[in-house]
Amino acid sequence: MEQLVKFNTALIKRYDVAGPRYTSYPTAVQFMEGFDAETYRRYTTASNNELIPKPLSLYVHLPFCHSLCYYCGCMKKVTRHEEQASRYLELLAREIELQGRLFDHDREVVQLHFGGGTPTYHDDAQLHSLVAELGRHFSLSEDESREFSIEVDPRTVGGERLAHLAAIGFNRISLGVQDIDPKVQAAVNRIQDPEATLAMVAESRRLGFNSVSIDLIYGLPLQTVESFARTIDTVVAARPDRLAVYNYAHLPHIFRAQRMIDAKDIPSPETKLKLMELTIDKLTAHGYVYIGMDHFALPNDELTIAQREGGLQRNFQGYSTRRECDLVGLGVSAIGKVGDCYAQNLKDIPSYESAVAEGRLPIWRGISLTTEDRLRRSVIESIMCHGEVRFERIEANFAIDFHDHFALELSQMKQLEADGLIVMGNDGFNVTPEGRLLLRAIAMLFDEHLQSSQSQPKFSRVI
């Protein structure tokens, strides 16, 4: 179903609570260190033993950056010492071998994503041998429907490098732009020429990339409604297939880099609301469809089609069209999802490297999902991806009576219904166009783990 979105300032203000983004459920906060490599192996074995094992999706984390972007909340390492990066790649290759042994080789890799950090910190030869290493230990799909994507920092990549990335096998790229205003760029320490960046969209198309995505951020220091309007207009003119417009969450007590940002330069909550409204208005006016959370796509993009046809799913990069994959996380801090578990690698480079050097899987923590977790994940994913929950489908999959099982949640939803976030029916509920900007506030009602973790504000706010 094509979904509408409507901006309602009063409602957004009322429901502006800190909450998870539900790229997984349970969220990473719930992962436990008792979940070790042995536990993970049990899940990988079981996943091979399924009658029709799922295809694989690989996420490869490449944490290195040449310089620090002050807004960054990712796991990264800023260094000019390239031997550090080379050593990391060597050990990453070891992990690829260790992980590759765990999966049967008739399981094709249909999705691959290089994220960072800055994957293009590494040169073409390094990236090429990394993909070759993956090909040695996993069966990379040769089908053109495969989705092999890489996050590209336009400051490190010219036209020639793009051609190399295509030759290595990537068919999707996502370009980090954030903002094109020189003052904003200076305030976040990320200076790049907008014209060169946007020329890359056309160049990517010419080189045969199937999909080009651009990342922007609103709420950055010195942004104004006028400046951000220019950013959006300029970016939209290049017509990327997808746009991710993230809300900058200023959490300097968690992300050290953000202490470089002068708090007084950050737009006020009022301005941030206007920036959000502007983003929605402009992008929808330019024909982009609001997928949910931070994501927009053209009407003929696979993401939009998948949402229309009910086949969308949430993943760590946002949304994905691939429902039935086991996800293998490779590299420091990477998260995988195999069968009914999530597993995360060690999050600092030295301990990751020493684990792998000793031939151990570098699992740090994870979680085994209970049936209740799977049930709630299914409800939350339905809210986040499709803006609706059909009771019958959940009941059939989990052998429950929705009204009985979720009596408490349904009574709590009366307030959301009164406020116009959802419309409740006998056989399910739908998120309203106003509610679509508050998906996580709705999803949070079904999060059983939230009560226990709510005391510490580890999550960013909706706005």
Could you tell me the maximum CA-CA distance found in the chain, to the nearest angstrom? Answer: 62
Q: Which two tokens stand for residue 184?
A: 């904003």
| CB 105, min distance to other proteins, A | 8
Q: What are phi and psi of 230, to 5 degrees?
A: -65, -40
Binding to other proteins by CB under 8 A, coded x per residue (else -) over 90-129, reads --------------x-x-----------------------
Q: Using the rule CB under 8 A, give the single segment among 47-55, 146-154, 232-240, 246-254 that binds other proteins.
A: 47-55
| CB 55, min distance to other proteins, A | 11
Q: Please, which residues bridge with residue 245 across strands?
A: 216
How many Å apart are CA 214 and CA 241, to the nearest integer? 8
Q: Using the rule CB under 8 A, give the single segment among 1-9, 46-54, 172-180, 203-211 that binds other proteins.
A: 46-54
Tell me: does residue 48 bind other proteins (CB under 8 A).
yes
Q: Which is nearer to other proteins, 55 or 331 (CB)?
A: 55
| CB 44, min distance to other proteins, A | 13
CB 213 within 8 A of CB 150: no
Q: Using the rule CB under 8 A, give the single segment among 15-23, 43-51, 256-264, 424-432 that binds other proteins.
A: 43-51
| CB 103, min distance to other proteins, A | 13
| CB 303, min distance to other proteins, A | 24
Residue type, position 103, single letter: F
Q: Which is nearer to other proteins, 317 or 378 (CB)?
A: 378
Binding to other proteins by CB under 8 A, coded x per residue (else -) over 410-449, reads ----------------------------------------
Name 171's Cβ contacts closer than 8 Å, sequence gap at least 6.
144, 146, 147, 148, 149, 208, 209, 210, 211
Q: Which is nearer to other proteins, 11 or 325 (CB)?
A: 325
β strands within 282-405, DSSP E: 289-292, 295-297, 313-315, 318-320, 326-330, 335-338, 341-345, 363-368, 388-390
How many Å apart are CA 323 and CA 437, to the nearest integer? 23
Q: Which is nearer to other proteins, 374 or 414 (CB)?
A: 374
Q: Which two tokens stand for residue 263?
A: 């708090």
Residue type, position 286, single letter: H
Q: Which is nearer to other proteins, 49 or 370 (CB)?
A: 49
β strands within 107-203, DSSP E: 108-116, 139-140, 147-152, 172-178
| CB 46, min distance to other proteins, A | 8
Judged by CB under 8 A, the number of residues near other proteins is 8
Q: Which is nearer to other proteins, 138 or 429 (CB)?
A: 138
Tell me: does residue 143 bind other proteins (CB under 8 A).
no
Tell me: does residue 399 bind other proteins (CB under 8 A).
no
Q: Which two tokens stand for residue 80?
A: 């000019």
| CB 389, min distance to other proteins, A | 21
| CB 45, min distance to other proteins, A | 9
How many Å apart are CA 102 and CA 105, to the nearest integer? 9
Binding to other proteins by CB under 8 A, coded x per residue (else -) over 49-88, reads xxxxx-----------------------------------
DSSP string, 397-462: HHT--HHHHTHHHHHHHHHHHHTTSEEE-SSEEEE-TTGGGGHHHHHGGG-TTHHHHTTS--S-B-
CB 85 within 8 A of CB 121: yes
How many Å apart are CA 61 and CA 198, to the nearest integer? 25
Q: Which is nearer to other proteins, 63 or 336 (CB)?
A: 336
Q: Using the rule CB under 8 A, give the single segment among 45-53, 116-124, 372-380, 384-392 that binds other proteins.
A: 45-53
Residues at the interface with other proteins (CB under 8 A): 48-53, 104, 106
